[in-house]
């Protein structure tokens, strides 16, 4: 099954380059705001408090906006990777999972904006479902995308390490879910950091690939 998207030859290299740069800027914005809230919020212990707790209170609106910007960038990146791929394993599964993960991320941000006040009993359910969907779908999408790109000659060198990095994210996610011993905040932020490293790496490689294709 394939998405009804143009094949790589129909997408200009400049388009992929712009998507990659947009993704990198969105990732930088998200990291900057997330780090700032950790420093600025002295009412929360960053080791114990999960990132979602920072969505409320001072700088909460900025972090919720950064969540949505990151989600949109992930959607664009997934489409660009799908269109750019020359792998025989190219399919709709990875981009669809990335999109579902991005929708889950937006669900966390938007739901936490007004649900806690207007529907306090429903808010924890929406938050938990959205967050779990985002984490699970993005980790599986990373595995699939890396596996697809391992069969693409232009990406093979990068895709090997990315495949194992995606497995690291998958294992850390399930350790965070099943092992309650470590601090919840630090464990969750470690998983987020591993996901962000993979996204930064693939966006950077897409930008380099777009430059090579343009030449």
Each residue of 8-50: pLDDT tens digit? 445 666 778 899 999 999 999 999 999 999 999 989 999 999 9
What's the pLDDT at 191? 96
Phi, psi of 3 (to 5 degrees): -70, 150
Least confident of 125-129, 147-151, 208-212: 208-212
In degrees, to the nearest 5, what angle opens at C-alpha 124 toward C-alphas 64 and 34?
A: 25
Q: Does 68 have pLDDT greater than 80?
A: yes
Nearest-angstrom CA–CA distance, 30 and 34 = 6
- What is the extent of the structural domain holding 90? 8-214
Q: What is the model's pTM?
A: 0.90
In a domain? residue 1: no
Least confident of 16-30, 74-88, 130-144: 74-88
What's the pLDDT at 9? 45
In a domain? residue 60: yes
Q: Does 1 have pLDDT greater than 50?
A: no
How many domains, in total, are found in the chain?
A: 1
In a domain? residue 114: yes
In a domain? residue 143: yes
In a domain? residue 2: no
Q: Does 66 have pLDDT greater than 90?
A: yes
């Amino acid at each position: 099954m394939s998405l009804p998207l143009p094949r790589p030859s129909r997408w200009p290299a400049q388009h992929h380059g712009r998507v990659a740069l947009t993704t990198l800027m969105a990732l930088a914005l998200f990291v900057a705001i997330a780090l700032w809230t950790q420093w600025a919020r002295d009412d929360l212990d960053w080791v114990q408090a999960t990132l979602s707790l920072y969505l409320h209170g001072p700088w909460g609106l900025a972090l919720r906006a950064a969540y949505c910007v990151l989600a949109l960038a992930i959607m664009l990146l997934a489409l660009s990777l799908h269109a750019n791929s020359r792998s025989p394993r190219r399919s709709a599964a990875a981009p669809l999972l990335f999109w579902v993960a991005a929708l889950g991320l937006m669900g966390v941000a938007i739901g936490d904006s007004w649900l806690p006040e207007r529907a306090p009993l429903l808010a924890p359910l929406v938050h938990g479902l959205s967050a779990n969907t985002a984490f699970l779908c993005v980790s599986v999408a990373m595995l699939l995308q890396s596996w697809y790109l391992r069969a693409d000659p232009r990406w093979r060198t990068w895709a090997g390490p990315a495949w194992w990095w995606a497995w690291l994210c998958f294992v850390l996610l399930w350790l965070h879910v099943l092992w309650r011993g470590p601090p919840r905040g630090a464990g969750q932020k470690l998983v987020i950091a591993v996901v962000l490293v993979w996204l930064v790496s693939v966006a950077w490689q897409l930008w380099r690939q777009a430059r090579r294709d343009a030449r």
